[in-house]
Structure 1
Amino acid sequence: MDTPKTSIPDLNSTELYINREQSLLEFNVRVLAQALDEGLPLLERLNYLCISCSNLDEFYEVRVASLLQMAEMDSTAISTDGLSIHEQFEKISGKAHELVAEQYRVLNDVLIPHLESHNIRFLKRDNWSDSQKAWLEKYFNEELLPILTPVGLDSAHPFPRILNKSLNFIISLTGKDAFGRNSGRAILQAPRALPRIVQLPTSETDSGPYDFVFLSSIIHAFVNELFNGMAVKGCYQFRVTRNSDFFVDDDAIDDLLLAVEGELAMRNYGDEVRLEIDANCPEETVNFLLARFELTPDRLFLANGPVNLSRMQAIYAMVDRPDLKFTPFKPSLPSAFGRNKDIFACIRKQDILLHHPYESFAPVVEFVRQAAADPDVLAIKQTLYRTGVDSPIVAALIKAARSGKEVTVVIELRARFDEKDNIGLAAKLQEAAAHVVYGVVGYKTHAKMCMVLRKEGNTLRNYVHLGTGNYHPKTARLYTDYGLFTCEKELSEDVRRVFMQLTSLGKVSKLNKLLQSPFTLHHGLLKMIDREIEFAKKGKPAKIIIKVNAVVEEQAIQALYRASQAGVKISLIVRGICCLRPGVPGVSDNIEVRSIVGRFLEHARIYAFMNGGDWAVYASSADLMNRNMFKRVEVCFPIADKKISERILNDLKANLKDNSQAWLLQSNGQYLRATPGDHPVFQVQTELLKDLSQ
């Protein structure tokens, strides 16, 4: 009797992939769950609610908008998980509406009552006292009325252009104005300069220390003042989200800066992708707005509260209650710097690893500052993706350029939502005579590199900093990232060659140690996965640990599936999107996927391979996504120092021990939060704060 053949799973099967958009929405579910965590400070919980709302805004501005554009070009396109564009829209709509309903439930039923118990109140119009109403009426007349411009809708006053994500009101009217007109409707746009939340003064009202009123409530209460002699039947807030992912045709532009500036001016008026409106708005008015914006009902969201919950983040700074916020911490300075103020001497002595935000970002700033002031420094080269408008690093680069040093800065103009800031930074640097380039046409420059060329006696030495995160001091307090200082000859020479590629023309340079996309990174990672497969086939221990923000790229996912089938133990720590489906018998039995959601945004990218016991550890600017592998300039750098690589491995193992802030991806695409059970609570971010911060 013949032995039946075991079927080999088809790794191209759509059943093995989780939909990208659904996975991203699941991340927002995990963020929103933080708002319900009673172990967190109350104002931090409010922040998590706001973050989930701003994330959903971006999801519609970019991802949904991209799907709509794709539908226009090819309505028959099928996603990796086998869904048509129409099916993806159906799933997105259902999940997004569930998420929004939960956001307002969390606000109204959980957070607002808890905040009131701590004397932080949001006062509704029906609950204003006489003194509060008098103060608010005065505020309306003096601060709002002079700058509000209602537009009555008629043939001479067409429907106004509505700014992306702006607060607006549609107002129903009866009666005639001074010219005998009565269109029945008016639109009022709230200027963006106006605060969306107003704090009542205790001195002039009988208010508590933290009594607040929404701008929308004030406008609702006194909107009659804008329509003299007419009666307001209804006033309803609404907000439109537009396509904000602009397109620049790389083949048809002569000047990237001018092209980006031109597209940036149109971002606020891209195609409409979502309408949010007051839940009390009459159906007739809702249908009027849907028709006006040419939106279908599946992209309509009814708001049981303010239409822009993310604006409530302002409360955090307005309320001085340290007991309702995370305990402040001071990032430490690594002992490798000691008391030596010469940062170059410290780097010559040894490679130095920084783990932000637990360890200070100040040495990175100081690295550029000392380079700017050092007479022996001849040149500084830097990539900037996101850095902030008042960046101390940019200030140091300007100082260096003005002092006559050769300063070259590669600025990525198309860093989404930072384009305007980066255009301004480019202008400042050019005014200081720095060489500013915008990378390579068709590829975003996402690599995080800084190189300082220093003359030491008769030799030239390159000092470099390589990172997993941006050169942004503010986000370095909020995002977890690694940065490496080194002057190792081969690695620093690789960095120099990459800069040459970015600023000049020529063939791809052969690199000694760096992996670089779009050339060697993807192939290099697949090769290291294959190496683990060979170890497993020989019966040797084989393991892979990867920590990234997203796992999407299909070839990498299939390589990990093959590794799992060969017996390689694989641990993936993926903050956001993960299209790989773990726990599928015969395919991904040996793969665990977890997501850490905590105080800090997990942002580091680490690729670690057991390599027969001699671990190969790489840090990178790149996630496992198609764009990072093939459409961006990224670098992935080896951690050669054994003490440093062991330290990173210990950090990864601590991530895998987290039993409180970790979420485990199930084979059905949903996440379950880890629980300590009978074990002590272990939160990796809390432990790292204890170990590394001051």
Structure 2
Amino acid sequence: MTSGNNLSDKDTNILRSSLPTAHFFNRDLSWIDFNGRVLEEGLRQDLPPLDRFWYFSIFSSNFDGFFMVRVAAMKQALRAGAGPDPSGLRPEEQLSKTAEKTRSMILRQYDCLQNELFPLLAREGLELVRPDTYSITQMDYLESYFLGQVYPILTPLRIEADEKLPFISGNDLNVAFLMEPEQADGEAEDHIAIIQLPHALDRIIWLPRDTSTDSSPDGLPDSVSRTCWALLEDLVLTWGAYLFPGYRVKETMLFRINRDADFSVDEKRDEDFIEAMEEVIEGRTHSPVVRMTFSSGSHRLRDELARRLGLEEQDLYEIDGPLDLGSLMDLASARDFDSLRSKAWKVYPSAAFNEEESLWDRISQRDVMLHLPYESFDPVVRFFQDAATDPQVISIKTALYRTSGNSPVIKALEQAALNGKHVTAVVELKARFDEERNISWANRLEKAGVIVVYGLARLKVHAKISMIIRREKEGIKRYVHLSTGNYNDKTARQYDDLGLFTSREEIALDASIFFNMITGYSVISSMRKLVIAPTSLKRRVLELIDRETKRSNQEHPGKIIAKLNALADTDVVEALYRASQAGVKIVLVVRGICTLIPGVPGLSENIRVISIIGHYLEHSRIYYFSNGGAEEYYLASADWMPRNLERRVELMFPVLQEDIKVRLRKILDSYCRDNQQARELKSDASWRHLAPAQGEDLVSAQEHFLAAAAKAGGNFWTPRNEFVVRRGAPGGQ
């Protein structure tokens, strides 16, 4: 793809104002604050206990990714001698503040987990038993379980003082043992060995009901049945000495490391790109360690491992409780404990489609918007499945970034190719942590006869677009689907996203131009409706903000509402500051990172920033501009981040149909009025959890969307707090 109108250095300098760096929050500390909002949900005493545990699991899992990517990048910047970021912080300051804030949050998490949540679950009949509380019956059962099910699989690895460390994989749990010979001549020499917990073994071990009768906590009602569970690592800590006959275990420690994942493929190796990606995956498993979490109990093991792994004090996190709560997420779905979690929300069929009507006929009549996950992902799957079997369909083109392991979309594309359709799939192999999966199903597609294009050099293809081409009586007709989210049937049940079906000729023509640019050689052509990054999307966003700024006056102030996942592009932030100074009223609904500082007199007093952490992961991007009364609405795959606007292939697309515009305005209004799950950002970087004023109605945007989907689908339902599911992992892609 060749660009004819990329932003030049001169253009970029013109777009930048002379604002001092103090007018920006640090992007990484802002992300930590986002994860803090996830933590706050786990700390809420009004939520069911398993919902709270689920939030704690997500909180821990989010930090793993953050350390592997962002903290690794900070360390690289420090080694390279990089200067301050837009907030004015140097790399060493960012690392110090990151460690301080992260440590404080983890202490709050585990204080609540150990002293409140686990005791609460035990009182409700779901009890974690640890080695110091095993009953005699439990001890017998677990020792037998260890010897029969665990011991044969374990592999102890010795650590020699003068040799290289054995391989320790990132994100896996390990148990370290400090030992001495039981019989030794003269002064005994200590030895260290480690055991990695195998993936093949379940970490949660459920104990038979009758083994827990002698360890019931006081006050448990007779009506409450008891289920106890133990941790695999506790068994290894307790009976791991069986693997070291002739040695006495002096100290033990559980530990886990995060490795650097912030490095890229060699973009020049076009001739063997899959091999280059496989090298990236392999390299990630042996990259430098950026953090170690560990249990208390052995300073010698902690210090020796930290020294051998090249870690400093701020890289070490002592955990008072089970490590790696992310891998214990299944506990939140434990059977027979529905009373300890909220009821699942139903996914409703879209009222716009029915099985009797042809999908093509419906899309030909009017544009259709889907609001996931409140409405079913099924029409998107049908879009591909019907195309695969429809004799009038001659071609399918799609851009795939992330999809599920057993994707119905992939199956439909395979079937379409086998049925003789001309199928093209742009597969982005550089989707971090999904590279292996993407390589796997890209190979499957190629074997079925699909033309697979592996993205673009130096750019990630993050756009979400598909096009079906049919031969009809009137001639060739194109049907286009555009989305804010991926073609992933699993995340479509967890992430809030918006998708648009259309057969408008002007959008279909742009879609054809887009695929030609991505798969072939093409200087960027002017598009009628679609806006593409990295060539024109940032410029267009700045133009829209600037237009609103120029048209705003006291009698008719401009208005901008932007819902997105992250805001960190300095040019966009400065443009929003200028708009605020001109009187434009701005509401930003930002899930995660926000470097803009709202509420500063003379700078941003007209800007309000809120964040929604709720039942589903907020993932949609919606951009509204009042435009002097000629309102414009856009949906996009892109956030307002430098990587999205300058280093990725993204799409922003307009909503042209009036009834869909009305629907989008209601969606944005619901977010702006939320006083249940919303938090508001203040100029001192604190977040205030919003609550209804006296006499004000309770408003939960997500509950409102569910009620709207139920009503539209013919199943009227009044949302109540007992109908809640929390499965949209906050921190997704």
Task: Identify the TM-score tier after normalising by the shorter chain.
Answer: over 0.9
Q: In 2 relative to 1, CA 174–372 (structure 1 residues): closer, same or farther, beyond 3 Å?
A: same
Does the 8 A contact of 1:216 with 1:306 survive in 2?
A: no
**How far is 1:157 from its partner?**
6.8
Bigger CA drift: 287-296 or 174-183?
174-183
Amino acid at match of 1:301: Y
Q: Within the alignment, does 1:221 sit opposite 2:238 as a pair?
A: yes
- Using a 3 Å threshold, how does the CA distance of structure 1 residues 348 and 253 change in structure 2: closer, same or farther? closer
- State how many pairs are aligned: 684
Tell me which moved more, 165-174 or 653-662.
165-174
1:88 aligns with 2:107: no
Partner residue, 1:347:
363
Q: Contact 1:177–1:228 (CA<8 Å) still a contact in 2?
A: no
C-alpha distance after superposition, 1:94-143 (max 9, x if no partner) = 10111111121121122111111211100011222222111111111111
Letter in 2 for 1:192: H
Equivalent residues in 2 for 1:245-394, closer than 5 Å = 245-251=262-268, 254-282=271-299, 284-338=300-354, 340-394=356-410
Query: Matched residue of 1:439: which SS?
Result: coil
Q: Does 2:14 align with 1:14?
A: no
Q: Report the 3-state secondary structure (helix = DSSP H, G, I; strand = E; otherwise coil) of the residue aligned with 1:241.
A: strand
Q: How does 1:401-480 map to 2 (within 5 A)?
A: 401-480=417-496
1:177–1:511 Cα change, 3 Å: farther
Q: What one-letter code is carried by the residue in structure 1 that aligns with 2:181?
A: G
Alignment partner, residue 212 of structure 1: 229
**Contact between 1:546 and 1:605, CA under 8 Å: does it hold in 2?**
yes
State the 1:76 CA deviation: 3.6
3-state secondary structure, aligned to 1:211: strand
Q: How does 1:639-658 map to 2 (within 5 A)?
A: 639-658=655-674
Distance 1:456 1:81, change over 3 A: same
Deviation at 1:311, TM superposition (A): 1.7
In structure 2, what is the Cα distance between the partners aligned to 1:404 and 1:275?
53
2:589 is paired with a residue whose SS is strand
How far, CA to CA, are the matches of 1:195 and 1:161 in structure 2? 22
Question: Residue 108 in 1 paired to residue 124 in 2?
Answer: no
1:621 is aligned to 637
SS of residue paired to 1:255: helix
Between the aligned residues of both structures, percent identity stands at 38
Assess if the C-alpha contact under 8 Å between 1:479 and 1:603 holds in 2: yes
Partner of 1:28: 35
Q: What is the deviation of 1:281?
A: 2.3
Mapped partners of 1:370, 1:646: distance in 2: 30
1:34-60 Cα deviation digits (max 9, x unpaired): 012233222111110000000011110
What is the Cα deviation at residue 669 of structure 1? 1.4
CA contact (8 A) 2:558 2:585 kept: yes
TM-score by length of 2: 0.91
Q: Is structure 2 residue 586 aligned with structure 1 residue 570?
A: yes
Query: Contact 1:622 / 1:634 at 8 angstroms: preserved in 2?
Result: yes
Residue 609 of structure 1 is matched in structure 2 by 625
Letter in 1 for 2:298: C
**8 Å contact kept, 2:212–2:227:** no
Instruction: Provide the rounded CA distance (Å) in 2 between the counterparts of 1:156 and 1:289.
Output: 14
Please, which runs of 5 or more residues in structure 2 have no aligned partner? 1-15, 216-224, 716-733
Structure 1: unaligned runs, 5 residues or longer: 1-8
Matched, 1:141 2:162: no
2:244 matches 1:237: no
State the partner residue of 1:4. none
The separation in 2 between residues aligned to 1:340 and 1:522, in whole angstroms, is: 43
What are the superposed Cα offsets for residues 156-180 of structure 1, whole Å, 9 maximum, x if unpaired?
A: 8753111001111111112158999
TM-score, L = length of structure 1: 0.96
Q: Which residue, out of 180, 205, 209, partners 1:174?
A: 180
Deviation string 1:69-111 (CA, Å, 9 cap, x unpaired) is 12222x1421001111111111111101111111211211221
Asked whether the 8 Å contact 1:153–1:183 carries over to 2, the reply is no
Deviation of residue 681 (structure 1)?
2.0
Aligned residue runs from structure 1 range 529-568, under 5 A: 529-537=545-553, 539-568=555-584
Q: How does 1:513-532 map to 2 (within 5 A)?
A: 513-532=529-548
Whether the 8 Å contact between 1:246 and 1:264 is mirrored in structure 2 is no
User: Partners in 1 of 2:183 and 2:268 — Cα distance?
Assistant: 54
8 Å contact from structure 1 (residues 609, 617) kept in 2: yes
CA distance in 2, matches of 1:327, 1:205: 28
Whole-angstrom CA distance in 2 between matches of 1:389 and 1:670: 39
Query: Distance between the aligned counterparts of 2:535 and 2:164, measured in 1?
Result: 53
- Evaluate the alpha carbon distance shift between residue 117 and residue 492 of structure 1 in structure 2; reply closer, same or farther with a 3 A threshold: same
CA distance in 1 between counterparts of 2:675 and 2:325 reads: 30
Q: 1:152 aligns with which of 155, 158, 172?
A: 158
Instruction: Tell me which of 183, 190, 194 is aligned to 1:187.
Output: 194
Contact 1:171 1:234 in 2 (8 A): yes
Alignment deviations for residues 303-331 of structure 1 (CA, whole Å, 9 cap, x no partner) = 10122121221212333322222322332
Q: How far is the alpha carbon of 1:203 from its aligned partner?
A: 5.7
Q: CA deviation at 1:336?
A: 2.0
The one of the two structures with greater contact order (alpha-carbon pairs below 8 A, sep at least 6) is 2
Aligned to 2:65: 58
